[in-house]
């Protein structure tokens, strides 16, 4: 703090020339201050700090790399447009090793050590479930980009929100009619054996039964597994559709071994693109996927009717029309998920602006401002598509895409409506105290 | 799937696991047998083998077969040399003291793992197999009292997996011949039996130690090069081989070569079969239970001689 100066009554009054000199000096100094200090109009030019919990290492590393790039691109864009409430956005990244215990520690670091305004960006559901209670205790708004149903199920707390990506329950519910109508009614599910996979197991099984289909067998595989053939003999002979979703470093091995297992006699296949996120669909051994279907949160390949918003998003993040990095065509992105970071940061910006957010004392006002949101129109801020946010369940709902592998590319064959993804509320977080 | 083809598939998958495990564990057993060093970093030498295999195949950049052939020769040598250097610069300095070598190799484990993370990165990367044809296997059934052949869904193996089983057999026989028939093997065995006496007879014990430590790591690396076209190279992949190798070495008898190979077959096959019929977690539970039982009732292992 500067001390206030009083002009001595007996001292010489500053001349006009002195005043001009001072102004000139001030102007020169202003021209040299770094960019972040130029945000005029704000009551403080301190940056708004977003604690970014990133899976830089561990089984979520491929996602972490692209979540990081998308977040940086979104933050750069927001800062170019004048920041939030006239203040620049600063991303404070911490690696959580894709580990729930470390995740909770990282959230604590954000709140107490880095003095972050919010926590943001967690993907893997077990890390979210491990970290969210700590965020709630610390009253740190925690914006996750995870897909898990744990936010909308009421398992977490009022400080945890998921406004940038849809949840598994709504996704699988919207997929079930397509699977039952086009592929078959006798399904075998293969999924990772942790919270995210269990969401698939529980909600898809219910959704396909509602369509008159049935799940013949549930095959759970630990996400750290490295060899998969030994699980496949459990697939019943009369399976019409294989429903697969897998995560972890060995997804390519998983899909390859699935192909080797079936050889030329494969049943219909419907996969969540998670099984092949960050993996080139042209990799050797994946030829058998031709003609199979995938759920995609956002189509990896630029489609013929690509929106301007998608083109803008690709350009800013540095992704080419095939969903790979512009600088390295072998570095395939996690395109079906990473838009969530971009959209979430834009929701944070809108929320902070409508709450008149100034600092940590306004955290509760930020939560209430986001809860008040409903329609999020298709735009540069929401390039994946229009969305509807449910303030009671803290979960966003949006379009889902089904693509088919044709000549080694994923071509869009079906887009669900937002209404296809609705289900009755299971919680009302707004009744909890802030 | 019917029981017969199911069992056959499980056995084939188990055989691949067993082959790779036998190579990795014999490296661990060799180091323990000759040097009395419990090498906790063994799994990381395995990981390093597969990561370097990826690196070499990228560098060579020729066809998959050429790149893989180069990796098969170059990588074990590189890892072996690195391990020998580690022995001379770390383990020798602490006089191979049993407690301190354990702590030191834990340190080496973290150094190797984190250096790999910092350079190679956290991604799993694939290496193309030199050849890979799916071979569908037939099964028999009785139709109207006559035996007929049919091709059940999923009963298959790839030519590469068969090659891994074959290669592991050849390498193990070669190692056995080196240990029992060559001069180097003689020196190793002499050092194993009595270090001081060997030194008195003019055997360069320190050099033998470095060589054995290098050879042990090279075995792990060789196993990793063989498995990497089936799995993928990843910086965290060393944990499982380490655990399974310890299980195998303890069951087989610390330092016993035939015991190690037999235990690897037992653990690998049972892992394959139990995983297929029940669950992979149960396979690990049973394996560790067997270890506990062996330690209680036959602490020297199935084939180990009692040490005084």
Q: Is there a domain that residue A17 lies in?
A: no
Cβ contact (<8 Å) for A229 and B280?
no
Q: In terms of Cα–Cα distance, which of B170, B127, B134, B176 is closest to B155?
A: B134
pLDDT of residue A17: 64
Residue of A nearest to B121 (CA): A57
Cβ contact (<8 Å) for A249 and B236?
yes
Q: Is there a domain that residue A327 lies in?
A: no
Q: How many CB pairs under 8 A join A and B?
A: 79
Round to whole Å and give the CA distance between A152 and A170. 10
Structural domains of chain A, count:
2
Give the confidence band of B138 by pLDDT, cuts at 50, 70, 90: confident
The token duo for B107 is 């340190």
Task: Examine the domain organization and report whether A161 and A172 are in the same domain.
Answer: no
Cα-based distances in Å from A358 to A36, A43, A79, A355, B90: 17, 8, 17, 9, 55
The token duo for A165 is 């990506």
Round to whole Å and give the CA distance between B184 and A17. 93
| Nearest CA-CA distance, residue A356 and chain B, Å | 40
Of A252, A262, A283, the CB nearest to B154: A262
Chain B residues with a Cβ under 8 Å from any Cβ in chain A: 1, 6, 9-10, 13, 17, 117, 121-124, 126, 128, 132, 134, 136, 153-154, 156, 158, 230-232, 234, 236-237, 240, 272, 275-276, 280-281
The per-residue pLDDT string of chain A (434 residues; one tens digit each, 9 = 90 and over) reads 444 444 444 445 556 666 666 666 655 555 555 554 445 445 567 899 999 999 998 888 889 999 999 999 999 999 999 999 999 999 999 999 999 999 999 999 999 999 999 999 899 999 999 999 999 999 999 999 998 899 999 999 999 999 999 999 999 999 999 999 999 999 999 999 988 899 999 999 999 999 999 999 999 998 878 888 888 888 888 899 999 999 888 888 899 989 888 888 889 999 999 989 988 898 888 889 999 999 999 999 999 999 999 999 999 999 999 999 999 998 999 999 999 999 999 999 999 999 999 999 999 999 999 999 999 999 999 999 999 999 999 999 999 999 999 998 999 999 999 999 999 999 999 999 98
User: Are residues A87 and A93 in contact, defined by beta-carbon separation less than 8 angstroms?
Assistant: no
CATH code for position A162: 3.40.50.2300
pLDDT of residue B154: 72
Cβ contact (<8 Å) for A61 and B231?
no
Q: In terms of Cα–Cα distance, which of B294, B118, B239 is closest to A225?
A: B239
Task: Examine the domain organization and report whether A408 and A277 are in the same domain.
Answer: yes
Task: Examine the domain organization and report whether A274 and A409 are in the same domain.
Answer: yes
Residue with tokens 């001349």: A15
The token duo for A389 is 């946010």
Give the confidence band of B158 by pLDDT, cuts at 50, 70, 90: confident
| Nearest CA-CA distance, residue B180 and chain A, Å | 35
pLDDT in tens, B200-215: 998 999 999 999 999 9
pTM score, whole prediction: 0.81
> Residue A48 forms beta bridges with which residues?
A89
| Nearest CA-CA distance, residue A337 and chain B, Å | 18
Task: Examine the domain organization and report whether A178 and A287 are in the same domain.
Answer: yes
Task: Examine the domain organization and report whether A172 and A284 are in the same domain.
Answer: yes
**What is the mean pLDDT of the segment spanning B93-99?**
90
Tell whether A230 lies on the interface with B, counting CB pairs under 8 A.
yes
Task: Examine the domain organization and report whether A144 and A184 are in the same domain.
Answer: no
Of A56, A62, A263, the CB nearest to B134: A263
Task: Examine the domain organization and report whether A185 and A262 are in the same domain.
Answer: yes
Task: Examine the domain organization and report whether A174 and A151 are in the same domain.
Answer: no
Which residues of A fall within a CB distance of 8 Å from B158?
260
CA atoms within 13 A on the CB side of A93: 15
Task: Examine the domain organization and report whether A85 and A220 are in the same domain.
Answer: no
Cβ contact (<8 Å) for B122 and A260?
no
Task: Examine the domain organization and report whether A102 and A153 are in the same domain.
Answer: yes
Which residues of A fall within a CB distance of 8 Å from B240?
226
pLDDT in tens, A170-223: 999 999 999 999 999 999 999 999 888 999 999 999 999 999 999 999 999 988
Which residues of A fall within a CB distance of 8 Å from B10?
230, 233
Q: Is there a domain that residue A63 lies in?
A: yes
Round to whole Å and give the CA distance between A404 and A117. 42
List, in order, residues 6 or more apart from B204 with CB less than 8 Å away: none
User: Are residues B109 and B41 in contact, defined by beta-carbon separation less than 8 angstroms?
Assistant: yes
Which residues of B fall within a CB distance of 8 Å from A283?
126
Tell whether A61 lies on the interface with B, counting CB pairs under 8 A.
yes
Cα-based distances in Å from B113 to A309, B48, B147, B224: 41, 8, 54, 15
Cβ contact (<8 Å) for A226 and B126?
no
Higher pLDDT, A297 or B1: A297
Round to whole Å and give the CA distance between A240 and A125. 30
Which residues of B fall within a CB distance of 8 Å from A250?
124, 231-232, 234
Task: Please give the residue range of the domain that contains residue A243.
Answer: 168-296+402-414
Task: Examine the domain organization and report whether A268 and A407 are in the same domain.
Answer: yes
Task: Examine the domain organization and report whether A188 and A150 are in the same domain.
Answer: no
Q: Is there a domain that residue A198 lies in?
A: yes
Looking at the domain that runs over B3-297, which CATH code has it been given? 1.10.3470
**What is the mean pLDDT of the segment spanning B96-106?**
92
List, in order, residues 6 or more apart from B115 with CB less than 8 Å away: none
């Amino acid at each position: 703090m500067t001390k206030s100066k009083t002009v001595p009554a007996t001292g010489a009054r500053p001349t006009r020339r002195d005043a001009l000199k001072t102004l000139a000096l001030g102007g020169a100094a202003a021209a040299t201050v770094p960019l972040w200090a130029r945000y005029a109009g704000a009551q403080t030019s301190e940056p708004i700090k977003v604690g970014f919990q990133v899976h830089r290492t561990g089984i979520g590393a491929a996602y972490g790399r692209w979540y990081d790039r998308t977040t940086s691109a979104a933050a750069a864009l927001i800062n170019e447009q004048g920041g939030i409430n006239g203040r620049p956005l600063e991303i404070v990244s911490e690696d959580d090793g894709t580990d729930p215990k470390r995740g909770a520690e990282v959230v604590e670091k954000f709140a107490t050590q880095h003095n972050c305004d919010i926590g943001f960006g967690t993907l893997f559901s077990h890390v979210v479930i491990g970290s969210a209670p700590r965020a709630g205790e610390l009253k740190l708004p925690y914006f996750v980009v995870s897909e898990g149903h744990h936010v909308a199920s009421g398992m977490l707390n009022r400080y945890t929100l998921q406004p940038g990506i849809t949840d598994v329950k709504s996704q699988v519910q919207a997929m079930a009619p397509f699977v039952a109508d086009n592929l078959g009614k006798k399904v075998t599910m293969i999924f990772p054996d942790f919270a995210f996979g269990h969401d698939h197991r529980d909600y898809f099984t219910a959704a396909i039964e509602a369509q008159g289909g049935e799940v013949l067998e549930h095959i759970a595989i630990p996400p750290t597994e490295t060899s998969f053939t030994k699980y496949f003999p459990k697939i019943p002979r009369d399976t019409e559709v294989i429903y697969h979703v897998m995560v972890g470093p060995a997804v390519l091995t998983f899909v390859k071994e699935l192909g080797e297992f079936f050889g030329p006699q494969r049943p219909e296949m419907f996969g969540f693109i998670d099984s092949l996120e960050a993996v080139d669909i042209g990799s050797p051994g994946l030829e058998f996927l031709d003609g199979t279907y995938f759920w995609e949160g956002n189509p990896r390949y630029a489609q013929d009717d690509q929106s301007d918003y998608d083109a803008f998003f690709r350009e800013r993040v540095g992704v080419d029309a095939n969903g790979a990095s512009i600088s390295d065509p072998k570095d395939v992105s996690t395109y079906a998920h990473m838009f969530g970071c971009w959209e979430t940061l834009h929701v944070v910006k809108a929320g902070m602006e409508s709450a008149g957010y100034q600092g940590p004392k306004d955290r509760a006002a930020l939560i209430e401002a986001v809860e008040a949101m409903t329609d999020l129109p298709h735009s540069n801020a929401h390039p994946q598509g229009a969305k509807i946010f449910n303030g009671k369940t803290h979960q966003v709902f949006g379009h889902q895409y089904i693509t088919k592998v044709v000549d080694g590319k994923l071509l869009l064959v079906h887009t669900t409506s937002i209404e296809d993804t609705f289900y009755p509320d299971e919680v009302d977080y707004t009744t909890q105290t802030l | 799937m019917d029981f017969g083809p199911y069992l056959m598939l499980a056995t084939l998958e188990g055989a691949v696991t067993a082959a790779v495990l036998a190579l990795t564990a014999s490296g661990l057993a060799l180091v323990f047998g000759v040097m009395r060093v419990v090498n906790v970093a063994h799994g990381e030498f395995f990981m390093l083998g597969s990561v370097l295999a990826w690196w070499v195949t990228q560098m060579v950049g020729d066809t998959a077969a050429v790149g893989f052939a180069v990796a098969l020769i170059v990588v074990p040598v590189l890892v072996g040399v690195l391990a020998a250097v580690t022995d001379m610069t770390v383990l020798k300095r602490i006089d191979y003291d049993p407690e301190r070598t354990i702590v030191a190799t834990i340190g080496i484990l973290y150094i190797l793992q984190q250096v790999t993370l910092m350079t190679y990165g956290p991604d799993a990367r694939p290496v193309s197999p030199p050849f890979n044809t799916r071979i569908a296997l037939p099964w028999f059934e009785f139709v109207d009292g006559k035996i007929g052949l049919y091709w059940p869904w999923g009963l298959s193996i790839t030519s590469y997996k068969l090659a891994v089983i074959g290669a592991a057999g050849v390498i193990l026989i070669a190692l056995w011949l080196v240990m029992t028939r060559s001069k180097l093997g003689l020196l190793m065995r002499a050092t194993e039996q009595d270090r001081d006496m060997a030194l008195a007879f003019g055997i360069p014990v320190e050099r033998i130690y470095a060589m054995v430590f290098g050879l042990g790591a090279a075995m792990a690396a060789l196993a990793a090069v063989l498995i990497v076209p089936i799995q993928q190279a990843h910086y965290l992949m060393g944990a499982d081989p380490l655990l399974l190798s310890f299980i195998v070495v303890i069951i087989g008898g610390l330092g016993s070569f035939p015991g190690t190979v037999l235990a690897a077959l037992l653990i690998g096959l049972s892992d394959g079969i139990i995983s297929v019929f029940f669950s992979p977690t149960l396979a690990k539970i049973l394996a560790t239970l067997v270890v506990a039982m062996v330690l209680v009732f036959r602490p020297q292992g199935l084939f180990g001689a009692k040490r005084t």
